[in-house]
Chains A and B, each alone.
Chain A
């Protein structure tokens, strides 16, 4: 069994490398499709043809884009992400701090939202059809019906402007102590949890109900096992596949999709970095960010697939 999983992981990692290569090419061509290049963008309103030509030459942009892409790819193999066109700094340096920030936020949000989503989803499934269940279902839909920027703005208005409990900006420069850390993360985490939990709650509930309906759970019930025990010992492990899948999709959002939260709370994460990179046509930076989003997404779904396979013996043999 372990060998099988190991083989599968190795295979998927191999496929992942190929996917990454494809993505790198796709992003490269997409960037090429975008009008304007970094020299024009950097010069902005002062972009006269001569100035643009001069700057292009100085930045070695007069080489064919494809060659630059290949040299970036070559650098990547040796672990060198290249230098940003926009400010001539090491891409690795630019990304490192911001990636750490993004991962921190994603981690805290996961820590917060996953247990809540699981609890709500499972309990709603256990008491299917009850008022509680309906409440949870209406609640989740309402929560995602409110635009993210509105949740964030409202949260800031209430907690920062009127109550003055929390800071309006989430800048973790000189954080002292866990209390302050919590204060700083509170609002972005709440906002993000609103966004990502709904899907997880709904899918958890659906998956648990699905397994609760199957014969062997009925059998366990006949044998006299208690309800919580049935859910936790029998239904949950079998429902794990779809749950983890929904989680992977939700959590993958936490890295690249949090641009609104990063903007409103002025949180320096990778999503904003990528937007910047796109708007300055900063090829090495765009590529590196795209790779990060890709790797994280593919890793998450790999984990989800693995859990699904391990949890479902029928799939194990295929």
Chain B
């Protein structure tokens, strides 16, 4: 059953022939956390430690790790929602301000974030049309007919009927909500979309459909994704490369294709091996490495 819905693995060479890929996102030495900033310039609770990342235009990077590993925080810091304590985030070679207020509207536009729970990501008191219109007005100054037409186009883009724009989010299904959620990000005409666990609240069939959509849109619009998930099969389905986070640090990065075989860091191995794949022996292999079995127990 699970096998049937397992998304097809990606061909790592699908777009490899595009000449020198330029990094759209470059994260270097990123350190961030919560709480009051101490004398050392570091916040009280450091969540991210010295992260380096590069993401090439048109590619997808998966970020995996257990909950609490800092992967969501990473997205928030990149989006400017949580100002970094140290390090920098650069887009197309231009260093971005730490907070949203320090970034220009164009910089904000190019980078959009899509959240995990579509339920809370959509204002329940606004009709779909209004939700999609806002970024159009905000970033592109659109109004009237043009904006209406653009909303229709966006709905079309995420394969939803136009009539839906009069509905409130509460009147949509989970998958529809996630598509709207995504359409709102697209409304900005972004170049990079940070997807924070966008499929984890959906059931497998719907999730697969969403992933297919993402894949299609990436091809159509030349988008770049940073895909945060704890669900390896999702990452495997849409990402070119994968970064493994553990306790606030990036422990390893590798192409998706090498995930099953090439993981070197013991934590990555454990994480990858703990994905259920109708592998009857996976539980046994888990016990082989005591250290990470303990780590896993602590979740």
Contacts and interface: CB of A to CB of B under 8 A. Distances in A.
A215 B119 CA distance: 8
Contacts of A215: 117, 119, 201
Contact of A214 (B34, B119, B201): B119
Contacts of A317: 34
A54 to B, nearest CB: 58
Interface in A266-318: 317-318
Nearest to A213: B170
B205 to A, nearest CB: 16
Nearest to A314: B120
A223 to B, nearest CB: 14
B125 to A, nearest CB: 13
A214 B201 CA distance: 13
Contacts of A318: 34
A318 B117 CA distance: 20
A318 B45 CA distance: 11
Interface string B141-165: 0000000000000000000000000
Interface in B97-130: 117, 119
A215 B116 CA distance: 13
A215 B201 CA distance: 10
A318 B82 CA distance: 12
Size category, A interface = under 10
A317 B34 CA distance: 8
A100 B34 CA distance: 44
Interface residues of B, number: 4
A214 B170 CA distance: 10
A235 to B, nearest CB: 16
Contacts of B201: 215
B116 to A, nearest CB: 12
A185 B117 CA distance: 51
A3 to B, nearest CB: 12
A91 B34 CA distance: 47
Contacts of B34: 317-318
Nearest to A318: B34
Nearest to A219: B201
Nearest to B34: A317
A47 to B, nearest CB: 57
Interface string B195-206: 000000100000
A239 B117 CA distance: 20
Interface string B24-60: 0000000000100000000000000000000000000
Interface in A193-250: 214-215
Contacts of A214: 119
B166 to A, nearest CB: 21
Nearest to B45: A317
Interface string B174-204: 0000000000000000000000000001000
Nearest to A214: B119
A318 B119 CA distance: 21
A317 B119 CA distance: 21
A222 to B, nearest CB: 11
B77 to A, nearest CB: 15
A33 B117 CA distance: 56
A190 to B, nearest CB: 40
A215 B34 CA distance: 28
Contacts of B117: 215
A302 B29 CA distance: 40
A307 B205 CA distance: 39
Nearest to B119: A215
A317 B73 CA distance: 12
Nearest to A215: B119
A318 B201 CA distance: 24
A159 B18 CA distance: 91
A96 to B, nearest CB: 42
A56 B117 CA distance: 70
A28 to B, nearest CB: 34
A232 to B, nearest CB: 23
A150 to B, nearest CB: 40
A317 B82 CA distance: 13
Interface of B: 34, 117, 119, 201
6 contacts: A214-B119, A215-B117, A215-B119, A215-B201, A317-B34, A318-B34
Give 6 closest A-B pairs by Cβ, nearest first.
Answer: A215-B119, A317-B34, A214-B119, A215-B117, A215-B201, A318-B34
